[in-house]
Structure 1
Amino acid sequence: MTTTYTWRGAFDNTEVESLHAAGFGYQPAGYDWLTQVTRHSLGWVCARNSERLVGFVNVAWDGSTHAFILDTVVAADMQRQSIGTGLITAATTHARAAGCQWLHVDFEEHLRDFYFDSCGFRSTPAGLIEL
């Protein structure tokens, strides 16, 4: 099957919430993804095999030159097929086209090779406060 990547692609909340809950280990709670991303994000990328949503990434931004990768997720049975890399490549292309100069990401340590080696991010100093 061929995977297609769509910037600001159509989705329903149930399919994104199910994909996200499975990927991040929580019970689906009916989160309103569509309202969230249309109000606050530069865009998002949907990865589909046929009609099935197999990947998703949200690209938040500051309204100017900084964009932020959030919520990158690929269905468990579709991982290790470069779908995550395809999501980030599409997000990078569209953030650049929107005039962003910087694309930020934070991640858990086990994803370091993916973001640095597969996607081309580089390490920078950053700060974090857990709330």
Structure 2
Amino acid sequence: MTIQYQWRGDFENSALNALHADGFGHPVARTDWRERLRRHSLGWVCAWEDGSLIGFVNVAWDGGAHAFILDTVVALHHRSKGVGAALLSTAAEEARIAKCEWLHVDFEEHLRSFYFHGCGFRETAAGLIAL
């Protein structure tokens, strides 16, 4: 099967909610992703296989030089096959085309190797306040 990656791809909220539930191990939500992305995102990347949404990443931005990776998710049965790295590669290229100068990401410790070795991010100092 061929996986296709689509910048700002059209999707149904129910499909993305189901993918998030599968990928993050929580019940299926009723998030209005289309509205959220319309208001806050430079774009997003969808990964499709045979008409099914199997991967997704959101590229939020500040309207200028900074873009931010959020909500990276790959269906459980497609992990460790390069789907996540391809999503991030597409996101980085599209942010570059949009004249962004920086692409930020934060992640849980177990994903360090994926983002640094698999996707080309580098370590930097950052701060965080839990709200």
Gaps of 5+ in 2: none
Residue 40 of structure 1 corresponds to: 40
Counterpart amino acid of residue 101 in structure 1: E
Counterpart amino acid of residue 48 in structure 1: W
Gaps of 5+ in 1: none
Following TM superposition, where does structure 1 have runs of at least 4 consecutive aligned residues deviating by more than 2 angstroms?
Answer: none
Residue 54 of structure 2 corresponds to: 54
Query: Structure 2-normalised TM-score?
Result: 0.98
Counterpart amino acid of residue 63 in structure 1: G
The percentage of aligned residue pairs carrying the same residue is 59
SS at match of 2:46: strand
Deviations 1:35-65 (A, max 9, x none): 0001110000000012010000000000000
SS at match of 1:80: coil
SS at match of 1:90: helix
Counterpart amino acid of residue 43 in structure 1: G
Q: How does 1:16-95 map to 2 (within 5 A)?
A: 16-95=16-95
Cα separation, 2, equivalents of 1:99 and 1:50:
32
Deviations 1:11-52 (A, max 9, x none): 000010111122112111210001000111000000001201
SS at match of 1:88: helix
SS at match of 2:96: helix
Residue 111 of structure 1 corresponds to: 111
Root-mean-square deviation (Å): 0.6
Cα separation, 1, equivalents of 2:21 and 2:37:
17
Residue 3 of structure 1 corresponds to: 3
Counterpart amino acid of residue 107 in structure 1: F
Q: How many residues are paired up?
A: 131
Query: Structure 1-normalised TM-score?
Result: 0.98
